[in-house]
Structure 1
Amino acid sequence: MTAPAPPNDRPRTWKARIRCRDGDHTLELTDRELVAERLLRTSRKHSYDPDTDIDWDAPQDPDRFYTPPQLVSLYETPLWDALTHRQRVELSKQEMCSIASFGIWSELMLMQSLIMHAYRGRYDSDHVGYALTEIADECRHSRMFARMVRTCGLRTHRPRALEFQTGKLAGAVYDPMPMFAGTLVVEEFTDAFQRLTFPDEDIQPMVRQVTRIHVIEEARHIKYAREELKRLVAKAHPVRRRMAAYGLAQATRVMATQVIHPSCYEAVGLDPKLARRVAARSPHRRATLEWAFRKCTGFFDEVGFLDGRAGDVWRKSGLLAKDSLG
């Protein structure tokens, strides 16, 4: 299948410059239809049905971790050292399911935004066709995460009331620049964790299967969001871009503190307030979060989303090294 020629003989690829305080940045842009056609072709070859492609009946070994222990929020802290092996395994399960719950919430918001994005597009275009394909992917992912949590014997949970109500409000407003940037924040963060999880033979088999499917399919979603964000910032006024970037940085700062629900610590007999403080001050945890966002922040630097005050927020939050970039 060949993508239709861009209207008005527009080139397939071109370059654009954006003004940043550290100098102009050059972006390599690709026509929407060409990107979407490639993603649709890949989707036809590499899509999965979690109901049949995951062994949900695989036994869960009580001594086997659900996520690599170095990704657990309390790893290399005194609280971690005081836990038994079984408690550490339980904490890894609780945190994995907490991140999955957060993933469902964020994917629901993404689906709302993608529907509004498709609504404003040309319905017979491949660009809109891929947006609808991604919505279908996210529907399966949300069901997959929910079933994984339930299979682990746990329940999903919503974010705090403030974030939950803010999400409802955000779903009523269409603003594609922060929408696609926010998509990258969540997807790059979870992707980093899952790329360490699914190849690890010491992790529970069911979790490895879930994370493998998610990594494969999310790679397309990340590509779609990156290419669209580049096109959007290329057209945006620098002030408009910096405002969107600053708002996103603040939202990411809050998000990083909320992905682990307090009930995770209660499940292993810890005081959740104390555990959250210990995790927040842990050098290992801060380094882990910085690493998890590294691909995202590298791309954001390229497209001017670390320009100005936004970069300061990322650094002060411990999500970007103080001597990194910009």
Structure 2
Amino acid sequence: MAGSTVPSKVQESPEGDDVARRLLGSAAQLAYDPATEVDWDTPLDKDFHGASPEWCSLYGTAYWGELTEAQRKELTRQEAASVASTGIWFEMILQQMVLRDIYMKNPAGAEFQWALTEIAEECRHSIMFARGAQKLGAPHYRPRRAVMELGRAFKTLAFGEAAYAAILVAEEVLDVMQRDWMRDERVVPFVRTINNIHVVEESRHMKFARDETLKRLEGAGWARRQINAFVVAVASYFIVTSMVNPKVYRRAGLDRKRALAAAKANEHHKSMMRSSCSGLMDFLASARLLTKPALAFYKRANLI
């Protein structure tokens, strides 16, 4: 990727160390251990949703109106588990990209130590998501094989701003959903705790990703911005469109074909995605990463 040619002075920037030191301080003061913070022992209460109903892919459709409350709650639980499984998949990609990025950096530096701290948090998040999905009664949802292979290529080839901007998009889209879910008393309590932990700790990761994206773009020419804007948009499209696995509908006892058609045409869900991503799109525009080819993919993913 064009972002791989990063000047050495950027790699060891004092400004980057300042940000990293602040994030290390935050992590020291406010961090969670999901193994003890989340109530894993209480049996699942099926009177609760797994996510805010308004975020369900079928909410507002005629099909949603036909479902019983039990079916609606089961569907939101399955969709929450699917989102968590997609989160695990991308967190594994993220960890590998960050490790590769710091490979040659000074281990005594704050940036190096913050990166390892972020990876440690992501490892805990992945275990937390896996246990949460299991408790919700969901199978192992994963993106399509072709998307998994594209992810394999992306984690191997993406560098610099392409890597960090894609990390930011994935984290911010998940963040806006989970901020709603963690405050919603209709959502099962242990999922609300998971969401709260993730939101608090991911706020540090998003700060770092924004800072790194802007830093790596300093002095970038037109061609480099065009290439990386396109790469980030394509990666974002596959991440966002993989969040709700089509298998959730059959698992919830619905007609899969009808549910897929209703979800695809659901203007309410598209509007939720667009409105929640306005701040993210403003950032990408300010970084000059909203090129015409990139915009086409963000529109297809209903992010703009």
Normalised by the length of structure 2, the TM-score is 0.92
Deviations 1:102-133 (A, max 9, x none): 00000000000011011032221101110010
The residue matched to 1:99 in structure 2 has which SS? helix
Q: Which runs of 5 or more residues in structure 1 are unaligned?
A: 1-6, 13-30, 321-326
For 1:124 and 1:11, locate their aligned partners in 2 and report how far apart those are by CA, in whole Å. Answer: 14
Distance (whole Å) between structure 1 residues aligned to residue 66 and residue 117 of structure 2: 47
Structure 1 residue 271, shift from structure 2 partner? 3.0
Partner of 1:38: helix, strand, or coil?
A: helix
User: Paired residue for 2:214?
Assistant: 230
In the alignment of these two chains, the number of paired residues is: 294
1:65 aligns with 2:41: no
2:116 corresponds to: 132
Contact 2:237/2:300 (8 A) holds in 1: no
Amino acid at match of 1:154: A
1:251 pairs with one of 235, 248, 251? 235
Give the distance between the partners of 2:39 and 2:208, measured in 1 at CA.
30
CA distance in 2, matches of 1:55, 1:284: 33
Select between 235-244 and 125-134 the one with higher mean Cα deviation.
Answer: 235-244
Q: Cα deviation per residue 1:16-55 (whole Å; 9 max; x = unaligned)?
A: xxxxxxxxxxxxxxx1010000000000011111111111
Q: State the Cα distance separating 1:174 from its structure 2 match.
A: 4.6
User: 1-side partners of 2:302 and 2:119: how far apart?
Assistant: 32
Other-structure match for 1:173? 157
Contact in 2 for aligned 1:116/1:174 (Cα 8 Å): no
Whichever of the two has the greater Rg, that structure is 1
Which residue number corresponds to residue 207 of structure 1? 191
In the TM superposition, what whole-angstrom CA distance separates every residue of 1:74-111 from its partner, at most 9, and x where no partner exists?
00001111110000000000000000000000000000
Q: What aligned pairs does 1:38-187 form with structure 2 within 5 A after superposition?
A: 38-187=22-171
The RMSD of aligned alpha carbons is 1.8
Q: 8 Å contact 1:113–1:174 — kept in the other structure?
A: yes
CA distance in 1, matches of 2:105, 2:219: 17
| Inter-partner Cα distance in structure 2 for 1:137 and 1:217 | 7
Greater per-residue helix proportion: 2
Give distance in 2, aligned partners of 1:317 and 1:174: 21
Q: Does 1:302 align with 2:301?
A: no
Offset of 1:317 from its aligned partner?
Answer: 4.0
Q: Which amino acid aligns with 2:200?
A: I
Q: Which residue of 2 aligns with 1:217?
A: 201
Change beyond 3 A, Cα 1:90–1:294: same
Cα displacement (A) at 1:195? 0.3
Moved over 4 A (4+): none
Higher RCO (CA-CA < 8 Å; seq separation 6+): 2
> Partner of 1:63: helix, strand, or coil?
coil
Q: CA deviation at 1:316?
A: 4.6
> Is this contact kept in 1: 2:85–2:141, CA < 8 A?
yes
| SS of structure 2 residue aligned to 1:258 | coil
Distance, in Å, in 1 between the alignment partners of 2:297 and 2:150 is 20
* Counterpart residue identity of residue 89, structure 2: W
SS of aligned partner of 2:183:
coil
Structure 2: stretches of 5+ with no match in the other structure: 1-8
Q: Which residue of 2 aligns with 1:194?
A: 178
In 2: Cα distance, 1:266 partner to 1:296 partner: 33
Taking structure 1 as the reference length, the TM-score comes to: 0.86
CA distance in 1, matches of 2:73, 2:49: 5
Q: Alignment partner of 2:138: what SS?
A: coil
2:248 equivalent in structure 1: 264
The answer on whether the counterparts of 1:118 and 1:131 sit within 8 Å (CA) in structure 2 is yes
